[in-house]
A = this chain, B = another copy of it.
Amino acid sequence: MTTSCRNCPLRRRALFDPIESDELDFMQRFKSGELSVDADTLLMMEGSNSPQLFTVLSGMGLRYKTLPNGRRQVVNFVFPGDFLGLQAGVMNEMKHSVEATTSMTLCVFNRSELWNLFKNHPGRAYDLVWLASLEEHFLGDALTAVGQRDALERISWSFHRIYIRMTELGLVTGQGCQLPYRQQDLADALGLSLVHTNKTLKKLRDMQVASWNEGRLTVSDLDRLAELAMVDDHHVETRPLI
């Protein structure tokens, strides 16, 4: 059975502009197959040179870098629709590892087709730059959070960001969404220790703002959460505009 590629970022614009038939044809050739992996599978490894690019169709994961002393920085949480491997596609080496935290299904692309995409489908190439710029923006925000906010603010910020993101993906049901990670993962993402992360989560729970239990995030007071996170707007474009 074939899952649809509707979440693929390279097709995002298709939601607005009718895609030309020769482009559809190209996308078929660009897509080389689908991949299903179990939880805890290492998808890409720091320093390696993956010959393939992925789009996440379902499931979740995380990107991380490791230091010589064993510490780990989680760079990003991977959600459906995310594009993996652009760095390896364009430079010749992944700069972080990618791991599945649940079972995932992925859309697989040929890296070797990337150049054809630039040559014959400038619109898709433009989408790629847009995507890379969006990543850069999010990373800058994360850096600001880790560099300038205290523990309660950081966790509030991450929950707010995740909740907004999940809402855009249509994955919020009721007041919450699935968030299948360990507290250690969040700690490594925010530059906090596991213990302090745990205690801060309890505080946020006691404040009746948000709670995260058994892999499910529940937000009961989004306004308060945004206030604690010190975010004003967080409007995100979902389409290239040129």
Verify if A135 is at the interface (C-beta below 8 Å from B). Answer: yes
Verify if A39 is at the interface (C-beta below 8 Å from B). Answer: no
Please judge, given known A-B contacts A146-B146, A148-B71, A191-B146, whether A129 and B140 are in contact too, CB under 8 Å. Answer: no
Complex CA distance for A146 and B146, rounded to whole angstroms: 7
Please judge, given known A-B contacts A73-B143, A118-B126, A140-B75, whether A91 and B134 are in contact too, CB under 8 Å. Answer: yes
Verify if A220 is at the interface (C-beta below 8 Å from B). Answer: no
Interface size on A (CB < 8 Å)?
53
CB-defined interface of A154-175 with B at 8 Å, one 1/0 digit per residue?
0000000000000000000000
CB distance from A111 to the nearest CB of B (A): 9
Q: Are A133 and B134 in contact (CB under 8 A)?
A: no
From the candidates B86, B126, B188, name the one contacting A115 in the complex (CB within 8 A). B126
- The residue of chain B having its C-beta at the shortest distance from the C-beta of A237 within the complex is B91
- The residue of chain B having its C-beta at the shortest distance from the C-beta of A76 within the complex is B140
Q: Are B129 and A90 in contact (CB under 8 A)?
A: yes
Contacts of A87 in B (CB 8 A): 133, 136-137
CB-defined interface of A64-101 with B at 8 Å, one 1/0 digit per residue?
01011101110100000000001100111101100000
- The residue of chain B having its C-beta at the shortest distance from the C-beta of A70 within the complex is B148
Q: Are A148 and B73 in contact (CB under 8 A)?
A: yes
Q: Are A132 and B136 in contact (CB under 8 A)?
A: yes
A and B contact pairs by CB, cutoff 8 A, 7 listed: A65-B141, A73-B140, A91-B130, A125-B126, A125-B129, A132-B132, A147-B191
